[in-house]
Amino acid sequence: MSDSFELVRTKSGDELAAVVETLTTAGVPHRVAGTRAGFDITEVGRGDYPADMLVMVPWTEVKAARAALEASFAETELPGDHFLRSSTDEELLEILAAPLEWDPFVVVHARRLAAERGIQPAATEAKAAEVMEVLSLGKPAARWQVILGWVSVLLGGLVGILIGASLAFSKERHPAGEHYTYDARTRQLGEWMMWCGVGMLVVWRFLVMTK
């Protein structure tokens, strides 16, 4: 689990520069990384960059960073053709209930529209609690993960052990706390996979030593 949060992902050098300036002015520690090997930040500012550029902040600074960016967008006019203008109250609540999943520009204007429509903060809090409850239940593993895990177990165990441990113990972090990535059934399956992998690893090593 990373100690940094991906605040912004963009291909635009201008957007990156604006975000970095806002965070620097607000005194929020941050770093810039690229998704392409050989990323060179000195190339930024020469137009759009072909690789995604990421602005990362420590988890302890997420709220401050988001607040700084939202404040910078507060006076920006919402374009007439922006999707928020046709959003329902329920759609606005979904955005406000999980703000870290959305661009700060979207969040600040969703909050303004919600206030204009008279949507009460209590409704947002209830929706946020509902979203967090769903997240805390975890998700099922993808079929390919399970197949790869069991095949790896049969072929020697080590990779299967790692996949099993990942399914059983992986967690995701949110400002409200941590929760397991996968649901209870997947976590149990991951533990079985892990221990079966340990058993197969012992068997394979025994067979190699007795040859």
101 and 39 belong to one structural domain: yes
Of 72-81, 120-129, 156-165, give the lowest mean pLDDT range. Answer: 120-129
Structural domain count of the chain: 2
118 and 149 belong to one structural domain: no
85 and 173 belong to one structural domain: no
Q: Which domain holds residue 64?
A: 4-136
pLDDT at 39 over 70: no
Q: Where are the alpha helices (DSSP H) in the chain?
A: 13-26, 62-73, 89-97, 104-116, 121-136, 143-155, 158-169, 184-209
19 and 106 belong to one structural domain: yes
pLDDT at 103 over 50: yes
Would you place residue 211 in the very low, low, confident or very high pLDDT band (cuts 50, 70, 90)? low
77 and 129 belong to one structural domain: yes
- What would the mean pLDDT of 79-106 be, rounded to a whole number? 88
84 and 161 belong to one structural domain: no
Query: How far is C-alpha 138 from the chain's CA centre?
Result: 14
| Mean pLDDT, the chain, whole residue set | 84
Confidence at residue 120, expressed as pLDDT on a 0 to 100 scale = 86
- What would the mean pLDDT of 126-143 be, rounded to a whole number? 82
67 and 169 belong to one structural domain: no
Quick one: DSSP state of residue 138?
-
127 and 177 belong to one structural domain: no
Q: Which residue has the higher pLDDT, 100 or 65?
A: 65
Confidence at residue 1, expressed as pLDDT on a 0 to 100 scale = 45
Q: Which residue has the higher pLDDT, 99 or 133?
A: 99
46 and 78 belong to one structural domain: yes
Q: Which amino acid is at 141?
A: A
147 and 183 belong to one structural domain: yes
